[in-house]
């Protein structure tokens, strides 16, 4: 393979000298310089004669990545060496073991991680997700691998013009989905905004060019206005002895395009095209936070502030460590302008992110916002979802772009992504709180657990021991912790339900002397509206279905289903005789007959009555009912014999009740259980409407008297989640 030309060598030497110049701030001794030089010459030799698609020598790419690592990300010597070597193992005959022998285990580990990332991004989405999971686990060991990869991606985006269109789309999509959010989360704001701009440039080239042209056309006028706006600020701060620098920052093409898309407005209607940044040198006389607010106070003497547009990232730093006070002031032309106030330390963290974070962290040992975020990310990565798609979604959720602050009842601030709900808040407090949540008091007002929170809300979670997560909850959470906790619970419960269901079913089949078979399940599954045995066992184990009518199901012909209603009356020629027959008349003198709940007798069963000595009611049991046998052994004098069945038309009246409560999976099942099973009341019509986690409904039922109606309302009111029951 041919080597490089003399002109190539000149370019390579120039770029390497620029890297060495940048390394002056990170190389502390001769060993550091030796490592940088050795890494460069090994990479140059390994990539000898190889060119990029653009035609330039390949070694210029690792050189550029190394310069980004040093100058724009602020990493050290070993990271710079790893950046120079990041493609050597993937593209040449060198191995990770070779790198370890030459540069030590730390550099080798980073190069190995970078090699895996490169391999992952070349695979299909499913394999990519699994590979990416393994690579992102380096966050648990050395986050620098990810930072170097972001530098690699930034240079690839800067040189993306030489790639074919389909490659541009693939790389751009990956960048917007993962690398820009990662850069943001690691505090690399400048890199994040450049990645977004470059992604827009290649994804929507015409729109990018149009916005860029309009910004250039108005640049002179805008710069003149910025100078006029900041001049009074300079004078005011100088008068008050503040040491500072001030500049106007023009918004990026991507941020303008995003606002145009979000608000559906043209470029001409976007007025906040710039923001002013004040960076002050801290004084020993007051804390940095107090100095930020002091500068804000001075600015209010010049311009009118907009109180509802203050963003206090000083009191509540972002999860990536970002601190600043953002305020909005009225410009002389009547348009609002944003001013960012930050100390030199805050500015370094904002520009350098991770590297600056660890530099200043050496001054204190307390866990800060960045540490908390990193802990959450590690948790998400070490407890991944079941499939690749879910895993990628979990990773994306840990990189949310916009944060808000909400408060506990005691005033503790907690950060969440915009779009988080009270359910996310519950799980953030504790997994058990989330698993038993039934509602929330948001700003002292009872709301659904599905209610989306707003910045500044004060939230208290309402719980009940009987509550538990349902699959519907997954549609109402925006944090990884909540999602993983719900999935974990549902998996555990489903497995327990299946095991419980198997035990219940097998024991019941033994009573009938039946051995479970495929033929048996072909009859049972459709009867209980189940698709497979696991669903049948799960529903049985969770008491969604029961086997009270299993004997009827086994005997019945599915084509001849007839719904019948029954009652009991005193009749017959002999004292003590009881016949169950047509009930066309109502007699106040006759006793009340009740079907026993323990055995649920149905027409065709041999039945015996038991007169309850407390109420005078006659409880009708199956003759072989164990409960009846026990009663007969103790109080045989209360038995009523010679009972027969007869169909009847019930004497009843139509009534309607209205109800309201928290929507949840299974509420209709519970209503049906109470009304039709426990109370033996026929439902004529049921209407339910659900919105924002709350349901409202009306139920028309046939009842015999007001006692029956009141009993129904009382029972329905005790169902979990029911808030109000009233007669219409």
Catalytic residue among 8, 18, 56, 90: 90
Look at residue 367 and tell me whether its pLDDT is greater than 80. Answer: no
Q: Which residue has the higher pLDDT, 189 or 647?
A: 189
Query: Residue 298's pLDDT is what?
Result: 95
Asked if 671 and 627 touch (Cβ cutoff 8 Å), the reply is: no
Look at residue 152 and tell me whether its pLDDT is greater than 70. Answer: yes
Are both 576 and 527 inside the same structural domain?
no
Q: Which residue has the higher pLDDT, 1 or 548?
A: 548
In angstroms, the CA 116 to CA 135 distance is 6
Look at residue 301 and tell me whether its pLDDT is greater than 90. Answer: yes
Are both 16 and 156 inside the same structural domain?
yes
Q: Give me the domain span that covers residue 705.
A: 653-727
Rounding to the nearest 10 degrees, give the CA dihedral for residues 716, 720, 724, 725: -10
Are both 543 and 617 inside the same structural domain?
no
Averaged pLDDT of the chain: 79
How big is the CA angle at 113 (ends 4 and 364), to the nearest 5 degrees? 115
Are both 626 and 658 inside the same structural domain?
no
Look at residue 136 and tell me whether its pLDDT is greater than 70. Answer: no
Q: Which residue has the higher pLDDT, 20 or 403?
A: 20
Asked if 202 and 172 touch (Cβ cutoff 8 Å), the reply is: yes
Query: Which is nearest to 103 in space by CA: 128, 82, 74?
Result: 82
Query: Residue 647's pLDDT is what?
Result: 45
Query: Residue 566's pLDDT is what?
Result: 45
Asked if 497 and 446 touch (Cβ cutoff 8 Å), the reply is: no
Are both 44 and 119 inside the same structural domain?
yes
Query: Residue 600's pLDDT is what?
Result: 56
The answer to whether residue 493 sits within a structural domain is yes
Query: Residue 650's pLDDT is what?
Result: 44
The answer to whether residue 530 sits within a structural domain is yes
Asked if 58 and 109 touch (Cβ cutoff 8 Å), the reply is: no
The backbone region for 453, taken as left when phi is positive above 0, alpha when psi lies in -120 to 50, beta otherwise, is beta
The answer to whether residue 57 sits within a structural domain is yes
Domain total for the chain? 5
In angstroms, the CA 399 to CA 271 distance is 29
CATH number at residue 693: 3.30.70.260
Single residue among 361, 384, 405 that ends a domain in this structure: 361
B/e letters for 97-128, b = 16+ CB within 10 Å, e = fewer, are ebbbebbeeebbbbbbbbbbbbebbeeeeeeb
Are both 67 and 151 inside the same structural domain?
yes
The answer to whether residue 116 sits within a structural domain is yes
Count Cβ atoms below 10 Å from residue 192 Cβ, excluding itself: 24
B/e letters for 298-317, b = 16+ CB within 10 Å, e = fewer, are ebeeebebeeeeeebbbebb
Confidence grade of residue 393 (pLDDT, cut at 50, 70, 90): low
Are both 21 and 127 inside the same structural domain?
yes
Give 708-716 contacts, CB < 8 A, sequence gap 24+: 708/679, 708/681, 709/655, 709/657, 711/679, 712/657, 712/674, 712/675, 712/679, 712/681, 713/657, 715/674, 715/675, 715/678, 715/679, 716/657, 716/659, 716/671, 716/674, 716/675
Are both 10 and 29 inside the same structural domain?
yes
Single residue among 644, 677, 707 that ends a domain in this structure: 644
Catalytic residue among 32, 56, 91, 376: 91
Q: Both tokens of residue 446?
A: 């009872």
Are both 226 and 316 inside the same structural domain?
yes
Confidence grade of residue 125 (pLDDT, cut at 50, 70, 90): very low
Look at residue 119 and tell me whether its pLDDT is greater than 70. Answer: no
In angstroms, the CA 315 to CA 323 distance is 8
Are both 222 and 278 inside the same structural domain?
yes
Query: Residue 601's pLDDT is what?
Result: 63
Active site residue 680: no
Percent above pLDDT 70 for the chain: 77
Query: Residue 389's pLDDT is what?
Result: 52
Active site residue 551: no
In angstroms, the CA 366 to CA 176 distance is 33
Are both 621 and 680 inside the same structural domain?
no
Q: Which residue has the higher pLDDT, 198 or 491?
A: 198
């Amino acid at each position: 393979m041919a080597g490089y030309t003399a002109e190539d060598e000149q370019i390579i030497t120039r770029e390497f000298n620029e890297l060495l110049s940048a390394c002056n701030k990170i190389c502390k001794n001769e060993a550091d310089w030796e490592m940088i030089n050795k890494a460069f010459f090994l990479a140059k030799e390994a990539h000898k004669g190889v060119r990029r698609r653009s035609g330039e020598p390949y070694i210029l790419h690792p050189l550029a990545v190394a310069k980004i690592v040093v100058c724009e990300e602020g990493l050290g010597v070993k990271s710079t060496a790893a950046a120079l070597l990041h493609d050597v193992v993937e593209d040449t005959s060198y191995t990770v073991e070779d790198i370890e022998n030459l540069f030590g285990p730390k550099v080798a580990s980073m190069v190995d991680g970078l090699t895996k990332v490169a391999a992952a991004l070349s695979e299909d989405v499913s394999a990519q997700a699994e590979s990416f999971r393994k690579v992102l686990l380096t966050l648990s060991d050395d986050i620098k691998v990810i930072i170097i990869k972001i530098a690699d991606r930034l240079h690839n985006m800067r040189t993306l013009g030489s790639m074919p269109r389909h490659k541009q789309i693939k790389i751009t999509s990956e960048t917007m989905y993962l690398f820009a959010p990662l850069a943001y989360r690691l505090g690399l704001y400048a890199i994040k905004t450049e990645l977004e701009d470059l992604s827009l440039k290649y994804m929507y080239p015409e729109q990018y060019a149009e916005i860029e042209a309009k910004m250039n056309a108005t640049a002179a006028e805008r710069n003149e206005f910025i100078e006029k706006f900041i001049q009074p600020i300079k004078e005011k701060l100088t008068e008050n002895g503040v040491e500072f620098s001030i500049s106007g920052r023009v918004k990026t093409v991507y941020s303008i395009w995003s606002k145009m898309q979000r608000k559906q407005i043209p470029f001409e209607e976007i007025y906040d095209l710039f923001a002013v940044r004040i960076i002050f040198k801290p004084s020993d006389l007051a804390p940095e936070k107090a100095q930020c607010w002091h500068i804000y106070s001075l600015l209010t003497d010049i311009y009118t502030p907009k109180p509802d547009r203050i963003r206090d990232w000083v009191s509540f730093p972002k999860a990536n460590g970002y601190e600043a006070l953002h305020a909005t002031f009225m410009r002389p032309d009547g348009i609002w302008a944003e001013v960012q106030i930050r100390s030199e330390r805050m500015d370094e963290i904002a520009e350098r992110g991770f590297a600056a974070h660890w530099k200043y962290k050496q001054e204190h040992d307390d866990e800060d916002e960045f540490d908390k975020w990193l802990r959450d990310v590690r948790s998400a990565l070490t407890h991944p979802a079941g499939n690749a798609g879910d895993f990628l979604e979990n990773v994306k959720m840990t990189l949310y772009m916009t944060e808000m602050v909400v408060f506990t009842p005691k005033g503790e601030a907690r950060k969440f992504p915009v779009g988080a709900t009270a359910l996310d808040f519950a799980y953030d407090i504790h997994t058990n709180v989330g698993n038993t949540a039934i509602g929330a008091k948001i700003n002292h007002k009872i709301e659904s657990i599905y209610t989306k929170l707003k910045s500044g809300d004060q939230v208290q979670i309402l719980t009940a021991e009987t509550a538990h997560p349902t699959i519907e909850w997954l549609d109402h959470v925006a944090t990884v912790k909540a999602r993983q906790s719900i999935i974990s619970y549902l998996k555990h419960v489903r497995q327990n339900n299946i095991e419980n269901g198997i035990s219940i079913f097998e024991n019941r089949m033994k009573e009938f002397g039946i051995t479970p078979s495929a033929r048996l399940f072909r009859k049972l599954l459709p009867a209980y509206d189940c698709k497979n045995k696991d669903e049948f066992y799960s529903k049985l184990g969770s008491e969604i279905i029961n086997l009270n009518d299993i004997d009827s199901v086994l005997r019945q012909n599915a084509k001849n289903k007839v719904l019948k209603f029954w009652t009991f009356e005193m009749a017959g020629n002999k004292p003590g005789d009881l016949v169950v027959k047509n009930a066309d008349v109502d007699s106040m003198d006759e006793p009340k007959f009740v079907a026993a709940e323990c055995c649920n007798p149905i027409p065709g069963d041999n039945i015996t009555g038991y007169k309850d000595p407390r109420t005078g009611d006659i409880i009708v049991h199956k003759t072989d009912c164990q409960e009846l046998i026990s009663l007969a052994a103790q109080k045989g004098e209360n038995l009523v014999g010679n009972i027969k069945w007869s169909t009847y038309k019930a004497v009843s009246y139509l009534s309607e009740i209205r109800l309201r409560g928290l929507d949840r999976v299974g509420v209709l099942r519970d209503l049906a259980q109470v009304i039709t099973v426990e109370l033996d009341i026929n439902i004529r019509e049921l209407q339910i409407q659900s919105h924002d986690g709350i349901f409202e409904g009306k139920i028309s039922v046939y009842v015999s008297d007001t006692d029956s109606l009141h009993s129904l309302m009382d029972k329905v009111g005790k169902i979990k989640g029911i808030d109000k029951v009233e007669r219409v």
